[in-house]
Structure 1
């Protein structure tokens, strides 16, 4: 009888029983969530996968898949619970359908830790596969989740360490996925099967990776501080009008919105140091700039009076197959009130700017009222302001 058969028969030394395994998987989901806001216990990420990795030992692929689903569901429901409120409040759905959408989203996301759990169950008696394969598998699954279907990059494990500036400097080499790899490698070392010598090799490799990561981070921080000391200050003022979403798209509220941003910007430009650029939020100007003549001219006059360039967000439109479709743009207008280029958001928010699988989810409304679903932009070129390059990311793209 193989190891899985022994475990099911209750005679195997590997892995807890059924109830213990489910409890461990649930605990793993809670620990993963605790590594992110609002608790922000970043250190927990270094051990958060330990319960799941212990739970899947000696389990069949089917059993491991179920345990991964439990862990993933609890984690994502805990991390993304607020989506039900957003979909209900802004999408006009009752609580039950909004909760169902959240559950379906989390069930989909839970498939990724479920596949990871299956691989862990298969490799639980192969020390090399465990130590090398598990971190690589987790990162591959996170990368797939970031781009598959509509792409959902939220709660990538490496993001839990953003408060550690030293460790996170390595992201300029391999992105957040490098930090995810390091975290999973630490969890794999804690739970590694095999002889004491094999586990020792794993711990030595972990210590080496941590040392190199921390050393690189300290060096990069020193370089950045040196550059900051030499660089000419470039003050930027960020303006947040805090307009209620339900009011922002009401045409009768447009004048009040523009005036609020004018007043806040006047306060900012009167400060010391005087900003060289004002940044207003995504869709802060809820009209089609350049296409709606009256509010466009009014906005340009305001920017002229401020005497400072403004980068602001607003909807735009483009022809797609003979039809006008909206874009989510950032516009740069110089101090003279002249257009200085624009950028169209390329990674749109599902259910916010378009409804994925619209034929299936025909009952779901977009959270942003507009004339049809938004379409993504195609260019990532930076904008140019007085010879300086200004890179733009809008909302979801910064994740």
Structure 2
């Protein structure tokens, strides 16, 4: 702190408005290094504290600009991988793909801007009240997760999967971690400002005590039972996945690579849409695999596309082949059986096209193969394979903990997620995707199987730690033993309401303040 003409200035605050916006942008950009594959989690706190210094005491209009600049840097660096799929597989020029990506980033930047604006607009003096920010940030993040079907990617809590803050996940989830990150950073920023030293010191101490005490608790326990699993990573090039000339070779590649696996594994997993043929036309292959797997006393789960002949709609689906229960003597698969899962949360453009009649003629990007799916039910039964109960999610769905919470049951043994991240090439998108999966395993205290087409295929334990994985861009098989657990985390029971509870408390506080005024 320095004294100048009787006024106190924060040494982190940039007084020039243009430079302040630039440094907010840089702070947002630096957050990319907090997430996978870099995973330098301390930078989250440095970046946010520095941004808060630019945000402090700003009017609502100035706060909106600071939030927009911070948010644009945050997402422009963090989801730069989006342009890979647009340019490489969407048939659009590089400039057009970059413009579309930047347009998406500008849209996502509105949410931090909204949080900053509200933290000023709701305060008595109409200047940013940093203590409001953790609460209104929850509100803006909730909107980001539901507006236009939702895009909750790169939420701050994911950056802490390997930090002490991760111990909060089984209690309050990733959203709760995000709240405590903002609160913690506000306390640090206020201490630097020499404001309310006791209050902010107390926030820091209480937060660290909470983290330490929770880290000593075990909410689930190992049952002593284990399951041998094999996950097949076919590494099929994206441009070949729906090539009619290549589909026979793709199917045979999966069949042949899996034959040696059935004898020693209870469960074999193929990735999303591993079979590049719609289910009614793949019956010869599925029947053959069903018999082979059952004869070896095993089970196989594969992704494929179903076309419902009666309703004439497509589903992105998972089906179980081979044994359903351990006492089954034969394979239980037949077309139309109930032991399947239809993807519910579809990816805009990739799996359905809003305003399709208008957008599809504009560019190949809006007319990608298999981009006309219908939604499965929000709540569906667990898949049952060889006596193992699995709560399934396909690709993008892993970013929505509310959906997983609605589908986990007391008898659920594991979480299963399958994906095809070939769309994003050698970018950091697939690493971020795996990071999100790790957080879901930790939140719900369940082992997770993650099978992908070209990486990163992994098995994750109930503490969010990677047991084994396959590198990207390799054709390989991951075989490992998974320890099963019993019990429920607090988050799986009530923790997903934590953000709503805090927002309700904040609204009640604001109403009280208004009445007092």
Please, what TM-score do these two structures have when normalized by structure 1?
A: 0.85
Matched, 1:328 2:327: no
Going from structure 1 to structure 2, the CA distance change for 1:380 and 1:162 (only over 3 Å counts) comes to farther
Give the Cα separation in 2 of the matches to 1:256 and 1:307. 26
In the TM superposition, 1:255-294 aligns within 5 A as 255-269=248-262, 274-294=264-284
Contact 2:280–2:307 (CA<8 Å) still a contact in 1? Answer: no
1:124 CA drift (Å)? 8.4
Contact 2:56–2:130 (CA<8 Å) still a contact in 1? Answer: no
List per-residue Cα deviations over 1:232-289 (Å, max 9, x = no partner).
Answer: 111111111111111111122122112211232234345xxx2111111011111222
75-84 or 200-209: which moved more? Answer: 200-209
- Which of 237, 240, 250 is equivalent to 1:244? 237
How many matched pairs? 377
Going from structure 1 to structure 2, the CA distance change for 1:295 and 1:269 (only over 3 Å counts) comes to closer
Matched, 1:232 2:225: yes
- Which of 297, 310, 316 is equivalent to 2:287? 297
In the TM superposition, 1:336-347 aligns within 5 A as 336-339=330-333, 341-347=339-345
Give the Cα separation in 2 of the matches to 1:367 and 1:83. 17
Give the Cα separation in 1 of the matches to 2:203 and 2:65. 31
1:360 CA drift (Å)? 5.6
- Which of 188, 191, 200 is equivalent to 2:189? 191
Specify the alignment match of 1:73 in structure 2.
72
43-52 or 353-362: which moved more? Answer: 353-362
* Structure 2 alignment gaps of length 5 or more: 1-6, 324-329, 400-517
Going from structure 1 to structure 2, the CA distance change for 1:387 and 1:39 (only over 3 Å counts) comes to closer
Going from structure 1 to structure 2, the CA distance change for 1:196 and 1:99 (only over 3 Å counts) comes to closer
Contact 1:125–1:193 (CA<8 Å) still a contact in 2? Answer: no
Contact 1:125–1:194 (CA<8 Å) still a contact in 2? Answer: no
148-157 or 282-291: which moved more? Answer: 282-291
1:95 CA drift (Å)? 1.2
Give the Cα separation in 2 of the matches to 1:312 and 1:113. 39
User: Higher RCO, 1 or 2 (CA under 8 Å, sep at least 6)?
Assistant: 2
Going from structure 1 to structure 2, the CA distance change for 1:275 and 1:296 (only over 3 Å counts) comes to closer
Give the Cα separation in 1 of the matches to 2:385 and 2:68. 49
Contact 1:48–1:187 (CA<8 Å) still a contact in 2? Answer: no
Please, what TM-score do these two structures have when normalized by structure 2?
A: 0.67
Contact 1:240–1:281 (CA<8 Å) still a contact in 2? Answer: yes
3-state secondary structure, aligned to 2:227:
coil
Contact 1:56–1:120 (CA<8 Å) still a contact in 2? Answer: no
Give the Cα separation in 2 of the matches to 1:98 and 1:366. 12
Going from structure 1 to structure 2, the CA distance change for 1:308 and 1:32 (only over 3 Å counts) comes to same
1:213 CA drift (Å)? 2.5
Give the Cα separation in 2 of the matches to 1:25 and 1:197. 22
Give the Cα separation in 2 of the matches to 1:23 and 1:237. 49
239-248 or 378-387: which moved more? Answer: 378-387
1:112 CA drift (Å)? 0.6
Q: Which has the higher strand share?
A: 2
Specify the alignment match of 2:47 in structure 1.
48
Going from structure 1 to structure 2, the CA distance change for 1:209 and 1:367 (only over 3 Å counts) comes to farther
